[in-house]
Structure 1
Amino acid sequence: MDLHWYLRTLEEVVIRVLSSSCSIQASRLEGLTGVWKLAAVGIRVSHWITYHGLALNVTTNLCLFKWMVPCGIHGHGHQVSIKGLVREGKLCIDHGTDLHHLDDASFIHITHKSLIEEFSQAFQLEYCYKNISAAMLYERKHSSLTK
């Protein structure tokens, strides 16, 4: 039960996602939490139950971010996105896929898939994906209301 380890591991997940999905070499800033300029990490803990949050700038419109001072820390406000770095001409390849021509939904899908894989590995979890139809959701909702 070490909250600093937990935060550093969440940061490591983001660093691995950026490296594995699009060859971006991200890093931490010593003494600060997050993967600066690309991701913010925050957690809430109550009775050793964590509620974690990750904000990863995948295709984010960052024009309003120039007016923000993240966590009150001056000098680190300029944010970037994965899509922005790719558009600037950085070499970004995902298993042979040219990311330069992907739409926003594809960028988000690739990043989401990589986040789940890296999170599962870092925290030694087994992730199982199951499609649920709208009819199944409707049935679950109504069966829970009648109990």
Structure 2
Amino acid sequence: MNFFVVVKRDDGDLDVVTPPLDGTILPGVTRDSVLSLLAAHPAATSLPNLSNKMRLHTHERTITMSELVAWHQSGKLLECFVVGTAVVVTSVSRIGWEDKDIVLPEYKGAMGPVTSALHQRLVDIQEGRIEWQGWSVPCQ
């Protein structure tokens, strides 16, 4: 699985950060699909239930535990999620590290807005409800 974090920027946009493919992070279709969908919002597509005014800035770079703690303490850490073939996209609600316990915002048992939008869009593409950039091929 691949790990992503959603961080609120000072300008109101969101940064979506994931570690780079450095030999310990595995490449994958789901990871690539999520990065493509994030980059396309809102210019080429609108992710479900996200404002078209919302800008999502994707970054592939190392994420440190110190950064996660700092973002959490400042209230900027909005969501964490993992992606992979078996889970598609799913939320992470708690991260423990040393004596720190990062508990992410609760969405009343549901995924956060970015996580939910990505999950819904990927499943819609997989199940043929939405056509996106030739990812699906109809079978007769």
TM-score using structure 2 length: 0.32
Structure number with bigger Rg: 1
Q: Which has the higher contact order (CA 8 A, sep 6+)?
A: 2
**Higher percent of residues as helix:** 1
